[in-house]
């Protein structure tokens, strides 16, 4: 029985990582109204950057991680301003095609630079540390930190979007871009800021993922699909729903993996498809 409880706890903590994957996508779907197909590849690119910072430059993991965040923000801002904004006058289809091209470029760029090997970042023992709860249940310190980070990010984004002036402006361009333009909001600039926020979540997910799990240049696709499933399950505009969605997918994968390791990923997809058919608007839609 404790074995099952242990699995549920581990899966819930993994759900925290999935929620961070999905947060950036939730912002881009909600505010910018497009799905960035390269989202997963940008996360993996951040993981590889973490690898370079810690292994080649020899920086300690926390400092490398702190460096990633402004880099991620700048990258998001640049992508929106330099690339996506230029396609904004065209239809949604074209922006997807651009992010698709970007995804292929990133995957193959990483493959060219780092090779196809599976990598992992070592962070000086923190990934091995664990806390004893009760009975024979232990939880890792790193998964706990990641779960806490997910909660902090979600709470922070809720505060930012619903309590600050910047948040009001960003929500205004999300709800009615034309009206926002009429009242004098700088839509392009605000969208670039929103994408910088997405970049920060990508940096955080990439940095944390690099310490917790293995990754290789082609891991981006599976990360994108997880993020997408979580966002759709959560429903539009719900950040705490993203955490629940993340936990659901992680639980499905864990139980699938208990039946047969080959069913791990498949179980996540199937549970997503069933829940999606039952509630296409998501579990906690705000609108």
Partner 1 sequence: MTSGLVLFGRIALALGLIGLCAAPVLFSPAMLVLLTQALTMLTLAMLWNLVAGYGNVMVIGQHAFVGIGAYAFYGFAMLAGWHMAVALSAAMAVTLVCGIAVYAMLYRLRTAYLAVGSWVVAETLMLIASRLPGFGGGSGASLPTSLLRSLGVRAPERLSTIYILVLGMAVLAFGLIWALMRSRIGLGLAALRDSEEGAAVAGVNTRLVRAASFILAAPMVGLVGVLITLQKGRISHVASFSMLDWTIYVLFIVVIGGLGSLEGPIIGTLVFFLLREVLQDYGTLYLITLGAISIVVVLFAPKGLWGLARRKLGCDLIPLTHDPKTGDLR
Binding-site size, partner 1 (CB under 8 A): 44
Binding marks (x or -) toward partner 1, 87..116, rule CB under 8 A?
x--xxxxx-xxx-xxxxxx-xxx-xx----
Report yes or no: 50 and 208 within 8 Å, Cβ to Cβ: no
Q: Is 286 in the site for partner 1 (CB under 8 A)?
A: no
Q: How far is the CB of 91 from partner 1 (least distance, A)?
A: 8
Residues in the chain: 287
Choice between 107 and 254, CB closer to partner 1: 107
Choice between 65 and 228, CB closer to partner 1: 228
The 3-state secondary structure of 38-96, one letter per residue:
CHHHHHHHHHHHHHHHHHHCCCCHHHHHHHHHHHHHHHHHHHHHHHHHHHCCCCHHHHH
Choice between 90 and 159, CB closer to partner 1: 90
Non-local CB neighbours of 113 within 8 Å, separated by 6+ positions: 48
Q: Give exposure, 230-243, as e/b (b: 16+ Cβ within 10 Å).
A: bbbbbbbbbbebbb
Choice between 151 and 262, CB closer to partner 1: 262
- How is residue 37 written in tokens? 């197909």
Q: Is 279 in the site for partner 1 (CB under 8 A)?
A: no
Q: Is 259 in the site for partner 1 (CB under 8 A)?
A: no
* Contact footprint for partner 1 (CB under 8 A): 29, 33-35, 37, 83, 86-87, 90-94, 96-98, 100-105, 107-109, 111-112, 221, 224-225, 228-229, 232, 262-263, 265-266, 269-270, 272-273, 276-277, 280
């Amino acid at each position: 029985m404790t074995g099952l409880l242990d699995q549920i706890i581990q899966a819930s903590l993994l759900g925290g990582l999935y929620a961070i994957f999905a947060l950036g996508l939730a912002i881009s779907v909600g505010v910018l109204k497009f799905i960035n197909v390269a989202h997963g590849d940008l996360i993996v690119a951040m993981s590889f950057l973490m690898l370079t910072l810690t292994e080649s430059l020899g920086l300690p993991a926390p400092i490398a991680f702190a460096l990633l965040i402004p880099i991620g923000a700048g990258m998001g801002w640049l992508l929106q301003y330099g690339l996506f904004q230029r396609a904004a006058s065209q239809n949604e289809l074209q922006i997807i095609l651009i992010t698709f091209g970007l995804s292929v470029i990133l995957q193959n760029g990483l493959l060219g630079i780092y090779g196809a090997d599976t990598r992992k970042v070592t962070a000086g023992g923190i990934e091995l540390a664990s806390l004893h709860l009760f009975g024979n249940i232990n939880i890792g310190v790193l998964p706990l930190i990641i779960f806490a980070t997910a909660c902090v990010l979600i709470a922070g984004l809720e505060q930012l979007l619903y309590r600050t002036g910047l948040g009001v402006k960003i929500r205004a361009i999300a709800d009615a871009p034309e009206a926002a333009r009429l009242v004098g909001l700088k839509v392009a600039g605000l969208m670039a800021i929103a994408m910088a926020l997405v970049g920060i979540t990508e940096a955080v997910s990439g940095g944390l993922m690099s310490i917790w799990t293995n990754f290789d240049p082609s891991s981006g696709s599976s990360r994108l699909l997880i993020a997408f499933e979580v966002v759709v399950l959560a429903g539009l505009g719900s950040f705490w729903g993203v955490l629940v969605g993340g936990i659901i997918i992680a639980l499905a994968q864990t139980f699938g993996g208990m039946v047969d390791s080959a069913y791990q990923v498949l179980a996540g997809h199937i549970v997503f498809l069933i829940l999606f058919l039952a509630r296409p608007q998501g579990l906690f839609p705000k609108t």
